[in-house]
A and B are shown apart, each in its own frame.
Chain A
Amino acid sequence: MRYAPFILLAPIVMPMAQANEYFDTAGAQRALFSSATAFIDAKRSLTDAERDKIKALSDVKQRWAEQPVWRVEKNGSFIGWYIEDRVIGKHEFIRYAAALSPDGHVLGIEIMEYLETYGDQVREATWRSQFLGKTLRDKLDLGEDIQNISGASLSCRNITNGVKRLLALQQVALLPPAPAQ
């Protein structure tokens, strides 16, 4: 095979290594719960039945059996859940974190890692703020409740579905701590 012309182009098209990790766990936690005083590791192992129930509630498949979760406290009081998740992008996984209130409202999301060609706008506050206050009762439809970003429709759809799934996961598998005696 004479693919020499293409091979000659390789140095031109090979991309420069780029770091696209915008938040580590500690950074995302601070961004989403700025007043928190403690993040308590509450990683959740999900049973098949729980995963089925999450799918039934959200209409989105729970791919992972283990979900990284932190219980968030402020001066000893429970103020919400911090959940890290990943969804499929066009090329790679998109890592993001969601902050959920104890009663199941979205307090915010942050994009931790985004490696896609188009759609960097998902990191902008205006796009992320569309999720504020959403609950499992909201439809969270892309193009209606959540604005689509041209060229990044798959990313937008999967992040939107991911948040919907985390709201279902909270309802199915995250119990608030018992009140202090």
Chain B
Amino acid sequence: MQSFSRTSVFWGTSLSILGVFAPPMIESAKADENLLGYTVGAETTPKGGNELYLWNTVHTGKRQGSYRADYFRLEYERGLTDDLSASVYLNGYRHNYSGSPVPGEIEGGLKQTKLSGFSVEVKKMLLSPYKDDLGVALYGELTYDTVDSITGAGIRGWEIETKLIFQKPFMDGQLQWLTNIELEAETAKDNTSGMVESALAPRLRSGVSYRFAPNWSIGAEGWVDMEVLNAAADPTEPGSGGWEFDHWDFFAGPSIHYGAKDWWFTLTWAHQWAGSSEQVGFNNRTNLHLADHERNEVRLKVGYNF
């Protein structure tokens, strides 16, 4: 499960906000960077530094039919101290699917774009990767969502994501190893059925990034995550359900990163190489989990500072 709905004005809102800030950025934009698309580094934006990020993650490939979901995020981050930063996000989704992509879980078809909600995040660097050799940081993010990220259905959902981040530089920083240990807790109530579903999802991400030319880095990252689900709160069936293992999956793929003084982008493709069946007794000939995840994800992040 991963979830959560509103009007289709995400890009309008995002671009309007950008429009307000764009002129000063052209004058004084600077850049920070995410070397990989998913696994983050330990450094924080220094005190007084401002960063703006745009994310789009395209999810494609379910069990059958046609499926595509775009996850949009607009993030503003500010360095509060030299080792503490905070961010706010606007989140939105675009869904375009047909042919009941996962029978029993994602039926029929849908075409919609909706602003879903917001997130707030704090990140605290405990050790610097360059001063202390091994960078260590703590990260916490709280999200409110109104659109189910997978089905596009209307919900009311809250999610807390925590990360323990490690970053180890090698070769004077030309090669970077990044690892995140994550725990996600979420709960969502379906607007139509009233069903409440909660989940816990531990995840381990790891990757490397190598700068092969000035400004350009290539990388590879992978992650294993699993989910424990509690679907007990079906108002029509008191006492039903309970916590139970839902699924696991493994993704990995390459990325390319460009970072200049003023801006950067990272493009990552991640493929699901293995995963558990989405239904008990289902003949999962592909050995993939395709209810909560897809076969492929492509993420583009663009960031700049001002």
Interface residues of A (CB under 8 A from B): 1-3, 5-6, 8-9, 12-16, 18, 20, 61, 87-88, 90-93, 115-118, 142-143, 148, 150-151, 153-154, 156-158, 161
Contacts and interface: CB of A to CB of B under 8 A. Distances in A.
A171 to B, nearest CB: 21
Nearest to B259: A91
Contacts of B34: none
B298 A148 contact: no
Interface stretch (B148-156, B169-177, B192-200): B169-177
A157 B169 CA distance: 12
Interface in B19-44: 22, 25-26, 29-33, 43
A153 B132 CA distance: 10
Contact of A9 (B18, B171, B174): B18
A6 B261 contact: no
B45 A16 contact: no
Given A8-B15, A12-B25, 15 more contacts: A1-B58, A5-B11, A5-B54, A6-B302, A9-B18, A13-B262, A15-B29, A148-B130, A148-B131, A151-B46, A154-B130, A156-B130, A157-B130, A158-B172, A161-B172
B297 interface: no
Interface residues of B, number: 46
A151 B206 CA distance: 23
Given A13-B304, A15-B260, A142-B131, A2 B70 contact: yes
B298 A153 contact: no
A88 B259 CA distance: 14
Interface in B118-170: 128-131, 169
A5 B131 contact: no
24 contacts: A5-B15, A6-B302, A9-B18, A12-B18, A12-B22, A13-B25, A13-B262, A14-B263, A15-B263, A18-B261, A87-B172, A88-B172, A90-B173, A91-B31, A91-B260, A117-B31, A117-B261, A142-B130, A148-B128, A148-B130, A150-B82, A153-B130, A154-B130, A158-B172
Contacts of A6: 54, 56, 300, 302
Given A13-B25, A13-B29, A151-B46, A88 B174 contact: yes
A91 B173 CA distance: 10
Nearest to A151: B46
